[in-house]
Each structure stands twice: as structure tokens, then as C-alpha cells.
Structure 1
Amino acid sequence: MGMLDYPVFVVTTQADGRPSGCLVSLTSQTSVQPPSFLVSIPRSNPTCEVVIACEYVAVHVLARSNQVLAKLFLSQTSDEDERDKFERCSWRSGPAGMPILDDAVAWFVGRMASWTEVGDHVAYLLEPVAVWAPECTEDLLYLSDIDDLEPGQESDSAVSPFRPRDEPRRYGVPRFTLDGF
């Protein structure tokens, strides 16, 4: 599984006038017609409970140059510190009142169709209701670009904004082997 490399996304939402958001990597398009998208958030992440209470969420695509923004939303914080995340980045209120990150290269707002617990995550099935996806020539941000970051790390400005393009992607270290295969 460590060899798999997925794009990362930032999910944002708002409940009771308080924005909340986190970085997610477990996602998948689930249907083309009608369009739907699955987002999984760790149960341990404070944003998970906020999303359950919301009708809509915004899903943001990040460019490879957005590692600082990714690190900001990777950190797990208390409700009070959650506002600090949004004070440290540029955002605006978008469709359905969802927080839209200005530095995202694309985003969509999805209506919650259903949710279910899956392992240590909660999977949310979303039906897009608003989309912004201009033509983009930037490389997207992948797990291997941030695999040295740990959930809960404090964000600082020391994160390199990008790696040279000719550096090969790194993949996770195998955690087990299947003897005899």
C-alpha cells in the first residue's frame, strides 16, 4: 500500500458560523453520472464530527507548490485553534456558505448524500453542486510530496514550498511482507 500515491485534498465546512477543515488523502470518484465523490476523514480528526453535522462540504485540490497550506490543514487542533487555521490562510465564503480556500487550484462543493464508518475513518458520499476547475498547468500535490509530515504536527513556515521537479517521487516503506509470494 505504501507504493500507492494519491492526490491530497483539503476538506472544509462550516457549522454554527465556525469554519473547520482538514487534509484528506482517502478519496475517490464513485460515479460519473450522476457525479459523486467519496471523502474519508479519520474519526480522530475534529473536523470529522463537524462534517457529520453539515449538509455541505467543500473539497479543494492543491498544487504541489501548496505544501505550506497542506501542512496547515494536516494539523489536528481544538475548536479554538481551528479558527486560527483559517486566520492563517486566504479564504472566502462560497456556495452554501462553505469556506473556499483561495490558493486551491480547483474545488467543488458537495451535498452530503450519506456517510458510513469504514475502519478508523468516516466515509462521506458527496454529490457536487458547485464546481470551479480552471485549466491548470501546475503539478498536483500528492501523498509522496508530504509523506514526511505527521498528523498533529504544528504548522510553521519552514516547510519547503516545493521540491525540484526532477526529484523522483518517494513511496512509503513496506510495513510487512507476504512470505512465499
Structure 2
Amino acid sequence: MSVPAFGAVMRQLDYPMYIVTTTDGARRAGCLLGFAAQCSISPPRFMVWLSKKNHTFQVASRATRLGVHRLTEDCGDLAVLFGAHSGFGTDKFARCAWRPGHGGVPLLQACADWFVGEILSRHDTGDHVGALLRPVTAASGTSAGGQIGFRAVRDLEPGNPA
């Protein structure tokens, strides 16, 4: 298999982007998330993958729940905030409107569509760790614009090294 060819195929995809948020009871964290997917209908399950180099990964490793926010085109500023800034040096939540949700998970007020999931298990898949989520609460509102995909954010300089 040609690794460069695989990378070229992946760069052509426009998979949906999310913001994941969490708390370990003492710290809040959140990051732009590209690796995520619904993985079961009944029972409902969703999987997210967090980079091991990410501040959010460190906080999430001690958390029991994650918030997953669907990003629409009107949330571009949030995509930049949570994608281009590291939680190691920036309090992202001081720069946006949020409220505590189920289990204290920070919920971003600009995102009308979100859910909080209980972490059922974690899976080391390489440079990312997957968290299998059981949704425990959710909201679906009316959002302006379409969903932000990978192509809209692929030129962002990541807040953490790749």
C-alpha cells in the first residue's frame, strides 16, 4: 500500500467537523474534532477519536462524559478557536459563550445541535484514542448554513503539533 496515496485519498474527503468538550471535575477542555462517527443505531452509539498530543485528550482521560457539537457554517469562529489554539496555553471557554450541561460538560451556546455521551470504553488506535459514547442528553435546534467539513478547516495551523 502507498501511504502517500492513502493520504491523497483522505484529503479529498469532506467529512464533518465537530467540537468535543469535556471536564474532569477540575478542568475544562475542548478541541476541533475530525475523527468521529455514529457506529450503532440500536443501541445508539457514537465514536470520537482524540489525539494523544492534545490537552483535551489529557482531560478526557479522566472524564466520564464528552460533549459533541455539530459545527455549522455560522460557527467558523469556534472552529478556529478550538482548532488553532491549544488548551495547554489558552482558556478557550473564556473566549466563547458556554454553559454547564449534563455532568458539568461545557456546552457551546453557538451550537444548536449537540449531545453529551457517557464514555463506555476507550480504544488505542495509534496516535489517537477512540472513546465509545452512549448519548445521555441531546439538543437539535435550527442552525443557519450547512455543516462545516474538513475542507473548510484543513488549512488551520493546529494548536498542538500533529
Interval of TM-score (by shorter of Structure 1 and Structure 2): 0.7 to 0.9
Amino acid at match of 2:119: M
The equivalent of 2:156 in structure 1 is 149
Distance 1:6 1:148 in 2: 15
Shift of 1:137: 4.9
Deviations 1:81-110 (A, max 9, x none): 34x210000000011111000001300000
The equivalent of 1:50 in structure 2 is 59
1:54 partner SS:
coil
Deviations 1:138-174 (A, max 9, x none): 2111111111112128xxxxxxxxxxxxxxxxxxxxx
Deviations 1:3-61 (A, max 9, x none): 11111101101123321111110001000010000000111101102111111110011
Distance 1:3 1:150 in 2: 19
2:74 partner SS:
helix
Q: Does 1:28 align with 2:65?
A: no
2:29 partner SS:
strand
TM, length-normalised to structure 2: 0.88
Percent identical pairs in the alignment equals 38
Deviations 1:103-147 (A, max 9, x none): 013000000010011121011000000010124452111111111
Distance 2:28 2:51 in 1: 18
1:50 partner SS:
helix
Q: Does 1:76 align with 2:76?
A: no
Q: Does 1:109 align with 2:116?
A: yes
Deviations 1:49-81 (A, max 9, x none): 211111111001111121111111112231xx3
Asked if the contact 2:25/2:104 (under 8 Å) is kept, the reply is: no
TM, length-normalised to structure 1: 0.79
Amino acid at match of 2:47: L
Runs of 4+ in 1 over 6 A off after TM superposition: none
Amino acid at match of 1:77: G
Distance 1:48 1:59 in 2: 14
Q: Does 1:8 align with 2:32?
A: no
Distance 1:43 1:152 in 2: 13
